[in-house]
Amino acid sequence: MLKKIPALLALILFFQMASAQSLDTLFKGKEDLLVDLSKQREVNSLEFQFFLPDSILSQEWINSSDLNLQAVNGGFLTKTYDDWSKYDSLQSIFPQANSIFLLYGEPTNYEGVISYLNTLYATGDFLPASLQEQTNESLILAAVKSIYEPYDTLSTWLVFDWKLIWILVILSLFLILALGLILALVIFKARRNQREELRKAYDKDIIDPLTTILFTQSLDELKEMKPEELREVFPAQLFPKPLFKEVLIERIIGLNKKMKGEFKGKLKELYKKLDLIKITEKNLMSKKWSYVTTGLVQVNEMDLSELLPEVKKHTNSKNFHVRSSAGATLLNLSQEADLSFLKNQDYPLSDWQQMNYLRIIKYVHPTKKLMIHELFQSPNESVRIFAIKLVAFLGRFDLIEQIKILVPSAQNSEKIEILQTYLTLGAHMEAEFINANITSEDEDVQKMAIKVAGQLGDETSEKILLQLLEETSDRAKRLLILESLKELNETTFENYFDEHSSPENLQMKGQLLDPLLQNV
Amino acid sequence: MKKILIIEDDLLISSLVDFRLKKEGYITKLVVDGNEGVEAIQEFIPDLIITDVMMPFKSGIELIHYAKKEFPDIPIIVLSSLGEEEGVVLEAFHLGVSDFIPKPFNPNELALRVKRVLN
């Protein structure tokens, strides 16, 4: 490796020398330089002048203004020249004259000129004439000297710049979309305002005729009136308009909510006679759920029992609001309608729906035949659970036998509800079911069974609870069992602690007997 | 002829009440909110005020408070759908209203109650 170092150094030196070609090597002497400068004609800040001794000048030359001679010690100096092409002609006139190089107006020698030209050469501002024919660097000089002109004009650039075109297209689309949206909003708002104005106007047109009819006509008179006679009371040109009918429906429904007595009957008669019931029917048949729900509300508010068959069709709708409203309307209006419409419902009953149905059943028609037992055969688990809850809520002790049919195939959630129902109704005769579930593998069912056993259990329950107590180490569950045992049989409870007086057991006993801690 | 001021934001209800009371021969004036109600009491000086409870700007309870302070002799009947809210009913009676009619109501019954209060 060490042997190769001198060879490497020699190679590097060679390349350095080759690349470091300077003007020293291009110009062999002053003559060469002057020939090159003559070809260059002008070099920035590099000038010349001649010193002419007294002996070579005639009086004629001295008086001539061409040379603009300036007297100096021992002779004359010509004016300065920046055009090097004149050098040869002047030299030929005065062969004995001495030339002087001027750099930035100051005299310099040959080395000074070469050094200056070297600097210009390095920066690309000077290229010897001899090299201009051999190298392309003349192009660079030409480029430096020429005025910049863009290759492409602006219009061509715009047409062929695809990225710019895409950006412009996207921006334009965005702008069009934004303008479209603004326009749509303005139109929408204007229409809504116009609609609101119309509603107010229709309101005023409705108030007087409606008030007059309600107070001047009795219910019987209204029933005898022909629809045409009734329509004549309202402005004829407005009645065919859908918005007018919509406002009229709203007004009648609003009034119906706030009126009672014969006025409700009159409003219902008006609703039918003015054919508003057809709009309700159309709403019920609509494919849009919002219209159907509106129709159901209208049926419910105006007590339109003739539309109940249409309402019934919506009780198994896939839309939650529709089937909830349909169920509620059916229960609310029809004395004949029972809960059997829920039996084949495919969708689960939500807590809200259950509460709503219960409210109607409990407060609107407490004496209604509900056919709860049919719901026990429903394939829908949530419906069966609702039926079990109803037995408890309505105190239907007579349905306990029906619940028993459910037991063999009951799911865990149903078992919990059945146990809760037994507890609510105090069904002591169902101890067998309770005992079977004390050892259930499902934690929630087991806890509920233990809790219920405390109230409804028998001797078998005591034994199962004591056995479970031996097998269980879970403190919470043990506490629950002990609490049940205490409720079931106080003596068995006390006996257990006589036989099992560990500190933990005694602590649990203390908690169960402490009036402050027993509910913790 | 007795003058009755009806303060109710539902125009249809107020029109019905107005129609029914005019039929009985009363002079009526309708206003739609609590603020207008206060102004109307000062200008109209009614023999009876019928007012709703839930109204824009000034509630019925505020209006009763004002009326009973400034014009303690004018009887007031409250006509409201808040009938089930015991607090509102008690407060209204505590302020000295003569009657409370919950919605839904029968205009004929209202007319009878008005007659009873004015007599």
Show the low-confidence residues of chain A (pLDDT under 50): 1-2, 11-20
> According to the model, what pLDDT value does residue A97 have?
83
Q: What residue ranges of chain B have pLDDT lower than 70?
A: 82-86
Give Cβ neighbours of residue A389 (< 8 Å, ≥ 6 apart): A354, A358, A417, A421
**In the sheet that A75-77 helps form, which strands lie side by side, from edge to edge?**
A70-72, A75-77, A46-53, A98-103, A106-108
Of A206, A258, A262, the CB nearest to B105: A258
Residue B34, phi-psi category: left (phi > 0), alpha (psi -120 to 50), beta (remainder): alpha
Give the whole-angstrom CA distance, residue B18 versus residue B12.
10
Contact check, Cβ <8 Å, B106/A214: no
| Residues 6 or more apart in contact with residue B60 via CB below 8 angstroms | B7, B34, B51, B52, B53, B54, B78, B80, B92
* CB-based contact A208 B109, cutoff 8 Å: no
Looking at residue B104, what is its pLDDT?
A: 85
Is B15 close to A212, i.e. CB distance below 8 A?
Answer: no
pLDDT at B46: 93
Q: Are strands B27-31 and A98-103 parallel, antiparallel or unpaired?
A: unpaired
Strand locations in A46-176 (E) = 46-53, 70-72, 75-77, 98-103, 106-108
Give the architecture (CATH level 2) of B3-118: 3-Layer(aba) Sandwich (3.40)
**Could you please report the per-residue DSSP string of B49-114?**
EEE-SS-SSS-HHHHHHHHHHH-TTS-EEEEES-TT-HHHHHHHHHHT-SEEEESSB-HHHHHHHH
Which tens digits make up the pLDDT trace of A435-490? 999 989 899 999 999 999 998 988 899 899 999 988 888 888 888 999 998 888 88
pLDDT given for residue B10 in this prediction: 87
Non-local CB neighbours of A78 within 8 Å, separated by 6+ positions: A49, A50, A52, A67, A68, A69, A70, A90
Q: How far apart are CA A518 and CA A277, in angstroms?
A: 61
* Confidence (pLDDT) at A16: 45
pTM (predicted TM-score)? 0.61
Task: Decide: A400 and A428 in contact? Cβ < 8 Å.
Answer: no
Calculate the CA B58 to chain-centre distance.
14
Q: Mutating which of A203, A248, A259, A267 best tests the B interface, going by the most B Cβ atoms within 10 A? A: A259
Select the residue from A214, A217, A260, A303 to test the B interface by mutation, using most B Cβ atoms within 10 A: A260
* Three-point CA angle A106, A109, A114, nearest 5°: 105
How far apart CA A240 and CA A225 sit, in angstroms, is 20
Asked if A234 and A206 count as a contact pair (C-beta separation under 8 A), the reply is yes
Share of chain A above pLDDT 70, in %: 87
For residue A19, the model assigns a pLDDT of 42
What is the 3-class SS of B1-32, one letter each residue?
Answer: CCEEEEECCCHHHHHHHHHHHHHCCCEEEEEC
Extents of the domains making up chain B: 3-118
Cβ-nearest to B105 among A214, A215, A259: A259
Secondary element (H or E) of residue B48: strand B48-51
Cα(A252)–Cα(B61) distance, integer angstroms: 28
Chain A residues with CB under 8 Å of a chain B CB are: 203-204, 206-208, 210-212, 214-215, 251, 254-255, 257-264
Contact A255 B108 (CB under 8 A): no
- At residue A136, the 3 state secondary structure works out as coil
What is the structure's pLDDT at A286? Answer: 92
Residues contacting residue A325 through CB under 8 Å, at least 6 positions apart: A293, A296, A297, A300, A314
| ipTM summary value | 0.77
Of A204, A251, A259, the CB nearest to B104: A259
- The two tokens of residue A155 are 């219009």
| Among B residues 2-31, those touching chain A with beta carbons less than 8 Å apart | 10-13, 15-16, 19-20, 23
Q: Which positions ≥6 away from A497 have C-beta within 8 Å?
A: A505, A506, A509
The whole-angstrom separation of Cα A34 and Cα A135 is 21
* Most A-contacting residue of B8, B10, B13, B19 (CB-CB within 10 A), to test interface: B19
For residue B103, the chain A residue with the least C-alpha distance is A258
Other CB atoms within 10 Å distance of the CB of residue A127: 16
Strands across the sheet containing B76-80: B27-31, B3-7, B48-51, B76-80, B99-102
Domain locations in chain A? 24-145, 164-274, 433-520
Chain A CB contacts of B19 under 8 Å are 211-212, 215
Residues from chain A that touch B105, judged by Cβ atoms under 8 A, are 258-260
Q: What is the pLDDT of residue A7?
A: 54
